[in-house]
């Protein structure tokens, strides 16, 4: 029988580069620290270099190399004192740069390893890079994914995984009376090709022809930032506001200010933003990419359109404000759904079962610093 684990090291991205994975990792950290749990520490995969070495992180190629070296030595310092590693993982190059060193060093020191894989691109990743990704994934004692969708994807590639949903703090969301719906739209997906924010701009152009008073707030950042701003200018859109990066604690106010949430992603898993919109009782219009149908049912909790169909997206965006009673009914059902399924009180039981299976004791042990 393996020895009881009393020290969990969560390994994941910092909140300096906002995304669903970093937010979820820190929510898990906060949740575990709220319990009579083992000592829980957090190790950033993207540490800031100290003193003058920080200058190296301003240089594009050197930045990755310098950060990776610092991360590697941080693993060597922290892994030996931990009993169980909880490693957050994305796909492609990110998988090689962040989870892979942790997996290898975890095995070197004979630690229990839980790999928490978050990426709607899993099928493509495992198809194109499977020759090295699959052996590395098998180094983990347990693979956890957020949806049954990814459980099926992993099974098709010969890998067993367990689904534990992303969780959110429902109580952190601000509820607002939307007795009068106006065409005020909100999107907060990062500016990368697979999130397809460009389709939202195209759809909004069609909406604005019917409703010149329509507004669109776009929160986020990414490699397509300038391209998207140029697209908005080229479409001659009015009332479009790019907020730039927004910290998690600032997000509830943006959900509350909007009347319709819009997502047009082409590849996805379980977007936290959809769950947060649900919790804010904000009507949702979304594509059906990846695992989204597992959390968004057309006509019940959201309006769901085919990924890539800009015309259907624009019609759904307009319908949400022209048929407000139906939109508000969907939003009410969505809030009940997220409260019953994705709150910490629900999800923590599943995590504690995974930890218990890995030999982690959750009996009244002190909590550690970050």
Which tens digits make up the pLDDT trace of 269-327?
Answer: 889 899 999 999 999 999 999 889 989 999 999 999 999 999 999 999 999 999 999 99
Shared domain check, 253 and 289: yes
Residue 266 lies in a domain: yes
Residue 369 lies in a domain: no
Cα separation, 368 vs 299, in Å, equals: 45
pLDDT confidence bin for 362, thresholds 50/70/90: low
The two tokens of residue 87 are 């490693």
Minimum mean pLDDT among 13-22, 132-141, 212-221, 269-278: which range? Answer: 13-22
Shared domain check, 107 and 149: yes
Residue 370 lies in a domain: no
Residue 190: count of CB within 10 angstroms of its CB:
20
At a CB cut-off of 8 Å and minimum separation 6, what does 113 contact? 84, 85, 87, 102, 103, 106, 107, 139, 140, 141, 142
Residue 366 lies in a domain: no
Shared domain check, 348 and 237: no
Q: Could you list the residue range(s) of the whole structural domain that residue 241 is in? A: 170-341
pLDDT, one tens digit per residue, over 122-145 is 999 999 998 999 999 999 999 999
Shared domain check, 161 and 149: yes
Residue 249 lies in a domain: yes
Shared domain check, 231 and 180: yes
Mean pLDDT of 359-363: 66
Shared domain check, 256 and 133: no
Q: What is the pLDDT of residue 20?
A: 76
Q: What is the pLDDT of residue 65?
A: 87
Global confidence as pTM: 0.80
Domain containing residue 97: CATH number = 3.40.50.2000
Shared domain check, 176 and 163: no
Shared domain check, 187 and 95: no
Q: Is the pLDDT of residue 183 over 70?
A: yes
Residue 2 lies in a domain: no
Cα separation, 76 vs 105, in Å, equals: 7
Shared domain check, 215 and 200: yes
Residue 364 lies in a domain: no
Number of domains in the chain: 2
Find out whether 185 and 211 touch, Cβ atoms under 8 Å.
no
Residue 363 lies in a domain: no
Residue 49 phi, psi dihedral angles, 5° rounding = -75, 145
Total H helices, total E strands in the chain: 14, 12
Q: Is the pLDDT of residue 116 over 80?
A: yes
Q: Is the pLDDT of residue 201 over 50?
A: yes
Q: What is the pLDDT of residue 188?
A: 96
Side-chain half-sphere exposure of 198, counting CA atoms within 13 A: 16
């Amino acid at each position: 029988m393996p020895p009881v684990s009393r020290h969990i090291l969560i390994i994941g991205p910092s909140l300096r580069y906002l995304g669903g994975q970093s937010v979820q990792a820190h929510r898990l950290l906060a949740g575990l620290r709220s319990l009579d749990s083992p000592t829980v520490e957090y190790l950033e995969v993207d540490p800031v270099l100290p003193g003058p070495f920080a200058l190296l992180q301003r240089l594009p190629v050197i930045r990755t190399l310098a950060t990776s070296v610092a991360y590697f030595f941080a693993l060597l310092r922290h892994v030996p004192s931990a009993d169980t590693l909880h490693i957050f993982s994305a796909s492609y190059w990110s998988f090689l740069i962040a989870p892979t060193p942790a997996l290898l060093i975890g095995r070197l020191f004979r630690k229990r390893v839980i790999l928490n894989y978050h990426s709607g691109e899993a099928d493509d990743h495992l198809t194109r890079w499977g020759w090295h990704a699959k052996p590395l994934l098998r180094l983990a004692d347990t693979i956890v994914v957020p949806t049954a969708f990814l459980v099926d994807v992993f099974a098709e590639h010969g890998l067993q995984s367990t689904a534990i949903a992303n969780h959110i703090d429902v109580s952190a969301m601000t509820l607002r009376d939307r007795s009068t719906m106006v065409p005020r739209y909100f999107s907060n997906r990062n500016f990368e090709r697979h999130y397809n924010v460009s389709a939202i701009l195209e759809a909004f152009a069609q909406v604005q022809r019917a409703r010149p008073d329509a507004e669109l707030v776009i929160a986020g950042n990414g490699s397509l930032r300038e391209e998207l701003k140029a697209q908005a200018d080229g479409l001659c859109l009015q009332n479009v506001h790019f907020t730039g990066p927004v910290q998690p604690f600032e997000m509830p106010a943006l959900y509350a200010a909007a009347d319709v949430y819009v997502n047009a992603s082409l590849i996805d898993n379980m977007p936290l933003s959809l769950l947060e919109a649900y919790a804010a009782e904000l009507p949702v219009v979304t594509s059906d990419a990846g695992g989204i149908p597992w959390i968004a049912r057309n006509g019940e909790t959201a309006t769901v359109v085919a990924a890539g169909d800009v015309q259907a997206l624009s019609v759904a965006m307009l319908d949400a404000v022209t048929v407000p009673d139906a939109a508000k009914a969907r939003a009410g059902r969505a809030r009940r759904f997220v409260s019953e399924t994705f709150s910490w009180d629900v999800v923590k039981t599943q995590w504690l079962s995974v930890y218990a299976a890995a030999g982690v004791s959750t009996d009244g042990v002190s909590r550690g610093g970050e």
